[in-house]
Amino acid sequence: MNLTHAPLRVATGAYILNSGITKLGADAATAEQLHGFASTAYPFLSGQQPASFTKKVAIAEIAVGSALLTPKVPSAVAGLALAGFGAGLLGLYARVPGLRQPGSIRPSEAGVPIAKDVWLVGAGATLSLQGFFNGARRAGRRTAAKIGSAKDAAVDALPIGH
């Protein structure tokens, strides 16, 4: 993990991990509400039991939060998980009626708590892109070093002066 990614990973990871842990203890009314909200945006979820759905969401949040908080997980991987999670939340914003002002992408008062999750997508994309490009740069340097070593070995093996 790049040290400059630590503040972003800790802030988002802790928040998402806490959300998942909290959802593990959700009561039936909370599970019904969460499931109903998600089913409005994603109708294929309507066949799931609310308690089971809420537990799956909790486990997913715990996994994403833990990935962000675990230094051994590459930033590119943790960032992809975060961006995917954020995109799912923005899908709620785009599909649930009443969250946007009529004829606009701007949030209604009810939509502000969901619209603000756009930062998750931005943070995830930043981590992913920086992680990917930093990894590609390191791989390029390693390859260049190997080529340089091979060139030096080939030059040293030339019979010079014959």
On whether residue 117 sits in a domain, the answer given is yes
d(CA 11, CA 124): 12
pLDDT digits (tens, 9 = 90+) for 103-160: 999 999 999 988 988 999 999 999 999 888 876 556 556 665 566 666 566 656 667 6
On whether residue 116 sits in a domain, the answer given is yes
Tokens 């990614």 sit at which residue? 5
On whether residue 155 sits in a domain, the answer given is no
d(CA 102, CA 109): 12
CB 130 within 8 A of CB 123: no
Query: Averaged over 43-54, what is the pLDDT?
Result: 96
Structural domain of 34 = 3-132
Residue 161's φ and ψ, nearest 5 degrees, are 90, 10
On whether residue 143 sits in a domain, the answer given is no
Query: Averaged over 44-70, what is the pLDDT?
Result: 96
On whether residue 156 sits in a domain, the answer given is no
On whether residue 144 sits in a domain, the answer given is no
On whether residue 142 sits in a domain, the answer given is no
Q: Which of 70, 75, 73, 84 is nearest to 117 (CA)?
A: 84
Q: Which of 19, 29, 91, 100 is nearest to 57 (CA)?
A: 19
pTM here is: 0.78
Q: What is the CA radius of gyration of the chain?
A: 23
On whether residue 18 sits in a domain, the answer given is yes
* Number of domains the chain contains: 1
